[in-house]
Amino acid sequence: MERLPNPLRRHLAAVRAVAVLTVILGVLYPLLVTGVAQVLLSHQAGGSILRADGRDVGSALIGQSFTGQSFTGEDGAPIRKYFQSRPSTGGYDPLASGASNLGPQDVVDRLPDPRGVGQAARKGRVSLLTEVCARSKAVGELEGVSGARPYCAGDGVGAVLKVFPAVGTPTRVVSVNQACPATPFIRVYQGVRVECGRPGEDYSAGRTVPVRGDARAVVPPDAVTASGSGLDPHISVAYAELQAPRVARERGLGLDTVRTLIREHTTGRALGFLGESGVNVLELNLALDRER
């Protein structure tokens, strides 16, 4: 070995170091960590899988849908006896985890245009604001409360105007998210009659004016917005309390019983001060099923 040229000796030493570190860090260390986890935290290491009636029904770490798409009931409709999860941009698919990447400035829809060129034009695109408004309206109808919220029209779209010209005295105003023949959410803006939106018409030159209105939101924010992962298994205590009367009524249980189960499945803030308290939806629904 000493007779080998210096460059070759250095290369062989490097190869040996890589081989040793690969065995230690790539084989022995993972096996050790996995073994310790299986012995001390077997449930968590196995994915925190929850079982009911002798079968796996989900993970306590991943949100899922409680609608007719995965349970008995109307296709896509919320099953009324279950607490509903937070919205998911990826359809609760662990392989499609992620957010919409849309921000608070995304307030203008692209209206569907049957005469448009390309599938995107024909299908249109819903803004983040309209998604929030539509979800709030749907939750309000499901829970029997007001689904109104600021910057939302009564028909569940964003209350947004396009004002022309962009600078100066308005001569034309369009409720850009309400497709004709819809009635605009306000009749007049600064003395100009408000028009409904016409699919295919370009309103980009106008000034965007979101209208706050005087609505007070009853539906909690987490009921109308998805989490960053789209797989949050928890909802806020406020959203759980909003759903409690419906679930109690559908199951024939006392409201106090349902609220007690909510408290039992509420987790506090991480480390006592990070984030907010949350209610694990799957665990809560399984506990409700055991009450029958």
Q: Write out the chain's pLDDT in tens, 292 residues.
A: 567 777 788 888 889 999 999 999 999 999 889 888 777 776 666 677 888 777 878 788 898 999 875 444 445 789 999 999 999 988 888 888 888 888 889 999 999 888 777 777 778 899 999 999 999 999 999 999 999 999 999 999 999 999 999 999 999 999 999 999 999 999 999 999 999 999 989 999 999 999 999 999 999 999 999 998 889 999 999 999 999 999 999 999 999 999 999 999 999 887 777 778 999 999 999 999 988 6
Could you tell me which residues come within 8 angstroms of residue 244 by beta carbon, excluding any fewer than 6 positions away?
255, 258, 259, 262
Whole-number Cα distances in Å, 205 to 93, 164, 167: 39, 8, 10
Instruction: Report the first-to-last Cα separation within the chain, whole angstroms.
Output: 77
Which residue type, as a one-letter code, is found at position 24?
I
| Beta pairing partners, 181 | none
Could you tell me which residues come within 8 angstroms of residue 203 by beta carbon, excluding any fewer than 6 positions away?
108, 162, 174, 176, 197
Q: What is the pTM of this model?
A: 0.83
Listing DSSP states for 230-245 in one string gives S---EEEHHHHHHHHH
Q: Within 10 A of 27 (CB to CB), how many other CB atoms are there? A: 10
Could you tell me which residues come within 8 angstroms of residue 56 by beta carbon, excluding any fewer than 6 positions away?
49, 50
Q: For 80-90, b where at least 16 C-beta lie within 10 A, e where not — what string?
A: ebbbbbbbbbb
Q: Are 258 and 287 in contact (CB under 8 A)?
A: no
pLDDT given for residue 94 in this prediction: 83
Q: How far apart are CA 84 and CA 235, in angstroms?
A: 9
* CA trace torsion 223, 227, 230, 231 (10° rounding): -90
**Axis crossing angle, helix 237-251 with helix 128-143, rounded to the nearest 10:** 40
Q: How far apart are CA 179 and CA 27, in angstroms?
A: 61
Q: How far apart are CA 143 and CA 259, in angstroms?
A: 16
Q: Are 192 and 171 in contact (CB under 8 A)?
A: yes
Nearest of 201, 203, 146 to residue 173 by alpha carbon: 203
Cβ-based burial of 24 (10 A; exposed 0-12, middle 13-18, buried ≥19): exposed
- Both tokens of 24, joined, read 């230690």
pLDDT given for residue 69 in this prediction: 56
Angle at alpha carbon of residue 133, lines to 65 and 119, rounded to 5°: 75
Q: Which residue has the tokens 């309103």?
A: 203
Q: How far apart are CA 170 and CA 224, in angstroms?
A: 33
